[in-house]
Chain A
Amino acid sequence: MNRFFWLVRREVWEHKAIWVAPLVVIGCVGLLLLTGRVEIGSINFDHTPLAGLATPEQRITLLMYAYSALALVVDMVMGVIVFFYAIDALYADRRDRSVLFWKSLPMSDAESVLSKFAVAAVAIPLVGLAATVATQLLVATGESAKLALAGEAAGFLWEPRALLGSIGIAIVWCITAILWYAPVVGYLMLASAWAPRSPFLWAVLPPVGLWVIESVVLGSERVGDFITERLFVLPYLIRLHGNEPGHKEPVNDAEKIEHLANIDLYGLIGDFYRTPDLWLGVVVAGLLLAAAIWVRRYRDETS
């Protein structure tokens, strides 16, 4: 386990973006707080319509949305980092030939690949979770300070069900995302281990090519749907739920708030566990990783 710690540590040494990027995000949010520009959707913390909302229940739900929107910003940044980290993980040291140095040490390729997977699929999301919670607390602190200075009531921002609820959602989502995105990371790492050069193209071209060919030749979008559902989640949830009968698009703000307030965020995350897709993905991730280890171990390093 100690060896694994050092292998992970090596990755953190090499890829400073893992901890620098979330700090930058927190810094940016802090800066926007100071300039009074933290606006999340139609909810403006400065001239809050929240305090005047109809029911406390709605207020809590909408606050959770606001806090979770902060999580979304952090998640997108971490997603980009995971993508570029995974795609480079088993290629960069082949490009600069330092793989010959790493391979001169008594460590197995499985250890090496799994440590990099652990960083991409687990460590970076956990760092993202920490950054999310930090950002949420920062916004709550900053906004309540501003409201207090203006002589307004700020207590509702610290409503435990909203704040702790958002943190709870962030934790549950983090765990779900680790499982959901594991096959994506596995796929990127396999491309990274296998690509003779330009792992980005090797990773991106096959699925995109299939997508284009399918839509041109067959006129269907199965591959495209599969990819967007796995990557962006929301299309997946929409397909899962379908359009409920009697559903009508909200037209004004009041209806929008009403509509949003009726969505159960925990329930949405729970939906991932109701279909086999999540667990199938985990199995596929295992296979892809095994393939990546095999390629890493047995490919002839050209010199």
Chain B
Amino acid sequence: MTDLIVARGLGKSFGQTRALDGVDFRVAPGRIVGLIGPNGAGKTTALKALLGLTRFEGELSVLGLDPYRQRHRLMQDVCFIADVAVLPRWIRVSQLIDFVAAMHPRFRREVCEHFLARSDVRRTSRVKELSKGMVTQLHLALVMAIDAKLLVLDEPTLGLDILMRKQFYDTLLNEYFDEQRTILVTTHQVEEIEHILTDLLFIDRGRIVLDAAMDEVQEKYAQVSVRPEHLAAARTHKPIAERQGLGRTHMLFRDIARPELERLGEVAVPSVADLFVAVIQGARA
């Protein structure tokens, strides 16, 4: 199957700042891709370019369309939640559903009703009367009822409590995602989404610093709690990160044979957060 998103030399400047500095990546269908980077790394700019909300340099194709020129057509097959609480505050829930049903050819009202039935969102409420969590539930119910090929989520759970966040991702994974759909998500709370991601894209200072599938990552990278007597030996393998914790030194290695690592200490799969810190620091060094 052809790639859903192809970016080649994607660039964008704001004055002197290069928000995106020649970014290349591809996203295949049926993946859940985490676009992860520190603040100001260019995540939101990249997503806005994908959604046709901003001009860009370079080549970008989303579902075979130029998002900037063909945004209207693109939105038939792409859904996005740009941020929490961007639903219009004055509208009633029932009006919102009616409107989306009238405007979106791929909206299935019964699916939306099904998701809303499990929440506390009342049809007669105005959005401004709902709690932040309920607004997110409502937005998610609307989006999940749209039969889209690509769903883009930019910090969809910002400001929600941990229960809401967990519920959000569980619903997304179990009831929405399938082989035909693709999800691109950015978030600061990496730990909460790492178990649902199939691919990682790390971005820093407008550049992609890591582009790998999760299973590749698990093969390539390993975290070792190095026993004190093996410290020197471990360092000869050039760990990409090293930190102290609970009397042990934890080192992150790339492309080192498993048996060799097991000799040095206990080997574990690194968390995305640890990997992220190591890769970003490595890229900046």
Contact = CB atoms under 8 A, between A and B. Distances in A.
Are A and B a genuine interacting pair, yes or no?
yes
Contact of B88 (A6, A93, A106, A108): A93
Contacts of B100: 105
Interface string A1-30: 011001001100110000000000000000
A300 B55 CA distance: 8
Contacts of A9: 99
A35 interface: no
Interface in B189-205: none
Interface stretch (A94-102, A219-227, A268-276): A94-102
A252 interface: no
A301 B72 contact: no
A104 B99 contact: no
Q: How many residues of A sit at the interface, in one of the four size bands?
A: 20 to 34
B53 interface: yes
B102 A6 contact: yes
Interface in B98-121: 98-100, 102-105
B75 A104 contact: yes
Interface residues of B, number: 32
A6 B99 contact: yes
B268 interface: no
B166 interface: no
B72 A108 contact: yes
Nearest to B143: A104
Interface in B48-76: 48, 51, 53-55, 72-73, 75-76
Contacts of A10: 95, 99
B94 to A, nearest CB: 10
Given A13-B95, A105-B104, A100 B75 contact: no
Contacts of A300: 48, 53-55
A40 interface: no
A44 B189 CA distance: 73
B89 interface: yes
A98 B87 contact: yes
Interface of B: 44, 48, 51, 53-55, 72-73, 75-76, 79-83, 85-92, 95, 98-100, 102-105, 139
